[in-house]
Structures are given as C-alpha cells and as structure tokens.
Amino acid sequence: MIISGKELSAQLKAEMAAQVAEFPEKYGRVPHLVVILVGDNPASVSYVTGKAKASELVGIRNTTLRKPETISEAELLDIIRDLNADDTVDGILVQLPLPKHISESKVIETISKEKDVDGFHPLNVAALWQKEECILPCTPKGIIKMLKAAGVEIKGRRAVVIGRSNIVGLPVAKLLLDENATVTIAHSRTENLPELTRQAEILVVAIGRPKFVTGDMVSEGTVVIDVGVNRDPETGKLCGDVDFSAIEPKASVITPVPGGVGPMTICCLMENTIECFLRKR
C-alpha cells in the first residue's frame, strides 16, 4: 500500500478551505501567513511558491517577502520584530537555509512563539518535550497524520527513526513515543544499522542520501516512511532516502518521493497557521 501524501493533503486542504470560508463572518478576516525568502536559491523559491499555492487553495492570506541575499542579520531581525507586533499577521515563516552571515538560531528565536508556524522556536520545542500545548513541527506532524490515515497501529510497535535532526528525526521520534511506540533513534555513528532496521515494524528515514536504505535492510511487512528529498545521481530525478522499487514489494505501507511526506508538510503548515489564528480568539 502506497500512502499518497498528495491525495491526503488535498483532502485535508479542502476541509480546511471549508473551515476558513466561515472565518470572515465569524471573526472578520481570514488567517494571514507571512513567508520571508532571503536570496533566490531555486529549491527555496520552489518551496515558497508551494506554500503560497497551498495558502490560496485553503483561503489563507499569504504574503511572501522576498529579500536580497545581502540583507543584514539586523535588518532581517527588525522585519521579524515588526511582524511579531503586527496584529494582522498570524504566522511567520523564514525559509531555511539562510546565507551564512545570518544566524538561523537567532532568526528562529526572534519569531514570536505564538506565530512560529514551523514549530522551531526553542519554547515550542521545549513544550513538545514536556507534553505541553505547543505548535507541532510540520513534517513530523504530517508523518503521524499519514500513519493514522493509513490505519497503521502505532501503539506498542517497534519504531526505528534514522536521523536525529531538530527539524525531523528528533521530533518524529518524540511524536511516535507519545503514540506509545517503542522508539530507537539511529544516526551516522550507529553500528550494524541493517540489523537494527530489520527489527523495525515502523521505519522512518530522514537522512538526505539517495536510496540509502536498500532492500536487505527492511523486513517483510514493515511500514516505511521516507522523508528524504534528494536527486538520483543516475537520472537526476527527485528520489527519497529509500530504494523505493526494492522495498515497495516488501513493505506493508510505504510513502513515495515525490508525493509523500512533502505535501503533508505544507498541509500541516496551513493547519498550524489556522491554529495560531484561532488561538488568539
């Protein structure tokens, strides 16, 4: 069974659009998301365009602020502070990565916790680990939604997450733990990785290496979530961290790349923007 993040996100966005359509009458306006793009990195431009398109579909107001690569850190932080103080703005997202002269952690810390639709602010991260109300990071949130929509039982299952980044690996592991899976986190220093991955009933891969997980690393019936977004060195096409053609026949459930986790990430960004808007009311 291939879980289509494209289809699930289309369905969820249609539901959100119906919800947002009632906001002008109920609350006087629709939610407003501001996305800041620094420079013109093609991948970042494409992500920002995707976010604007999704906002349009859902009926969320989207403002994309494009700033030159040369903008100083102080100027960028001032823009964020102004947006924090602006009552008509509900969500703020600064597209990463940023040029080297700008500290990403300073930028993330400057965004108001209440408008941090990416869920990257240290206070949101702390709240997640303390099981308090928080804004969940979009990719991990989307993964749990996909598993649930596919009817995957998480409770009591052995889950292995490869990758321990703050953006994907660690929060995915925490959300799986909160769903009562027994979670192992693997990384670049993990020994005997294939032995570990073969024991997984749920395998989440977030490494950033094309087709890193090969057929022999996965047992029959495993649920496989592929977060990676890479270029296949042979074909130049988008591919995941998992060798899809080798693993798909063995997996009970698998996500494709493209069309899997990616669309769900943007869908959860829309949901987070609506949540930030509603929390103020």
Which lies closer to ligand NAP via its Cβ, residue 233 or residue 249?
233
Count, in order, helices (H) and strands (E) of the chain. Answer: 11, 10
Q: Is 44 in the site for ligand NAP (CB under 6 A)?
A: no
Which lies closer to ligand NAP via its Cβ, residue 167 or residue 276?
167
Sole binder of ligand NAP in the list 3, 152, 168, 218 (CB under 6 A):
168
Give the residue from 52, 125, 38, 40 showing the smallest Cα distance to 91.
52
Closest distance to ligand NAP from the beta carbon of 188 (Å): 3
- Binding segment for ligand NAP (CB under 6 A), chosen from 33-41, 81-89, 114-122, 161-169, is 161-169
- CB burial class (10 A; 0-12, 13-18, 19+) of residue 61? middle
Q: Measured between alpha carbons, how far is 222 from 159 in angstroms, rounded to an integer? A: 10
Looking up tokens 């994309």 gives: 64
Give the residue from 133, 177, 174 showing the smallest Cα distance to 155.
177
Query: Could you tell me the two tokens for 99?
Result: 């040029």
Q: Is 272 in the site for ligand NAP (CB under 6 A)?
A: no
- What is the DSSP annotation of 241-252? SB-HHHHTTT-S
Sole binder of ligand NAP in the list 91, 169, 171, 256 (CB under 6 A):
169
- Between helix 261-279 and helix 138-149 the angle, nearest 10°, is 110
Closest distance to ligand NAP from the beta carbon of 191 (Å): 10
- Binding segment for ligand NAP (CB under 6 A), chosen from 30-38, 79-87, 163-171, 247-255, is 163-171
Under DSSP, the state recorded for 210 is T
The residue count for binding ligand NAP (CB under 6 A) is 25
Q: Is 128 in the site for ligand NAP (CB under 6 A)?
A: no
Q: Is 251 in the site for ligand NAP (CB under 6 A)?
A: no
Which lies closer to ligand NAP via its Cβ, residue 52 or residue 77?
52
Q: Is 210 in the site for ligand NAP (CB under 6 A)?
A: no
Q: Is 140 in the site for ligand NAP (CB under 6 A)?
A: no
SS3 assignment, position 56: helix
Give the residue from 242, 158, 244 showing the smallest Cα distance to 201.
158
Q: Is 154 in the site for ligand NAP (CB under 6 A)?
A: no
* Residues binding ligand NAP (CB under 6 A): 139, 162-165, 167-169, 186-190, 193, 206-209, 227-230, 261-262, 265
